[in-house]
Structure 1
């Protein structure tokens, strides 16, 4: 029997959220979800799913259908309970796109772009003061943090401070954060005229929380390397991983 990820307690909590998404609670649902989590954890091709999870094609079709409807994203957001929004930390991380992720039958880039590492996708993540994910964006690897910041910050809940590294050093980003009623804790670059006299270095040291979140997410092979051809499917994989971090809370 393959190693499973959901205890009875975790499954009870996850099932409640899934039923709110009008997902039918048939007898095979738990093992089907375990199959999706197994693929997220191991990164194996869908065809190589162990038979204990059911027919691999049925599991994939259900995952693809839920992804198209945005259900995994809503399940992730439904699992967020009482986040500590005193501070929010943002950062981006490259993900190598496997050769199997190429070749989608669409003219869109599917969030795969060229960077120094070759074909890559970038995950832009925001975590709360506990270091748990509260929002994320998926872009091509060529998109820098500052460019993706506008959409990510716009979706963030209200907080007292938003903390980021020098990649977010932009007056536009700072102004957007301040319009949301938060304080921008972002160091200015070395050639800045204004300098860092107003920088809260004590709070900035806590920025490791978002780095820790990336380290936890990338323990799952299908997150650390992108195998999915479609952006929406990789986005759902990331949503599953983020939601799983919230399950024990």
Structure 2
């Protein structure tokens, strides 16, 4: 039997949340199916190579795709993040390589895959709370600069006291948008700036490693570190599932 990831405690939490969505029936095979989805996320294998002990691979994939299409995995993430500490919010972006099998989706959209120096890539724009736990993310092509997606990401974030980011977000437009949400921006200006950084709280800025730590934890899963999904919807659901695993130990609902 391959290594599994869900303890009885974690599965009890997950199935309770899934049933609360009103779009999942309580079936005995769901736990094994969920473990199959987690196995593929952890090792990054093709769906066909998911071990038979988790069930038929095609049934596992169809269930994952259905839950992704219905937004159930994203709803799990939204439900688990309710205990967010919103004094500080940290934002950043990270590029992931898109495998050659991720290209060629039969859709009119770019599916959040773009061309950059590394070839086909996707960029994850992530926001974390004061504890370094993920609270929101968006996907773009890898060629999209962090500052271009910043306002869309910040708009989706709940209100906080401070929003902290690195010099890649150095833009007065971004700072003004953060202030419009009644938060204080902690974003260093570039070295050639005439304004300077006299207003920066450097002590708070040092905690920006929390968002980097979150990326490091998410990319422990090989299906996150390398994108294999053709559809942005499915890759986002895989990412949401990885975020859920970070939140599960904290959730007491």
- TM-score normalised over the length of structure 1: 0.98
2:117 paired residue number: 116
- State the superposition RMSD in angstroms: 0.7
CA–CA distance in 1 between the matches of 2:73 and 2:10?
16
Unmatched tracts of structure 1, length 5 or more:
none
Distance 2:124 2:82 in 1: 22
Distance of 2:70 and 2:30 partners within structure 1: 18
Structure 1 CA distance, aligned partners of 2:247 and 2:13? Answer: 10
Listed as ranges, the gaps of 5+ residues in structure 2 are none
Matches of residues 149-188 of structure 1 in structure 2 within 5 Å?
149-188=150-189
Partner of 2:33: 32
Give SS of 1:109's match: coil
Q: Which residue is equivalent to 1:4?
A: 4
Aligned twin of 1:70: 71
Aligned residue in 1 for 2:20: 20
Report the 3-state secondary structure (helix = DSSP H, G, I; strand = E; otherwise coil) of the residue aligned with 1:30.
Answer: helix
Match of 2:235 in 1: 234
Within 5 Å, which residues of 2 pair with 1:36-55?
36-55=37-56
Question: Which stretches of structure 1, 4 residues or longer, exceed 6 Å deviation after superposition?
Answer: none
Deviation at 1:230, TM superposition (A): 0.4
CA shift, 1:81, in A, is 3.6
Question: How much has 1:53 moved relative to structure 2?
Answer: 1.0
Deviations 1:32-59 (A, max 9, x none): 0111111110100000110111111111
Q: What's the secondary structure of 1:248's corresponding residue?
A: helix
Alignment partner, residue 56 of structure 1: 57
Larger displacement relative to structure 2 (138-147 or 63-72): 63-72
TM-score when normalising by structure 2:
0.97
Report the secondary structure of 1:247's partner residue: helix
SS in structure 2 at match of 1:124: strand
SS of structure 2 residue aligned to 1:138: strand
Paired residues, what number? 249
Instruction: Quote how far apart the aligned CAs of 1:150 are.
Output: 1.0
State how far apart, in whole Å, the 2-side matches of 1:167 and 1:20 are: 40
CA–CA distance in structure 1, aligned partners of residues 222 and 54 of structure 2: 19
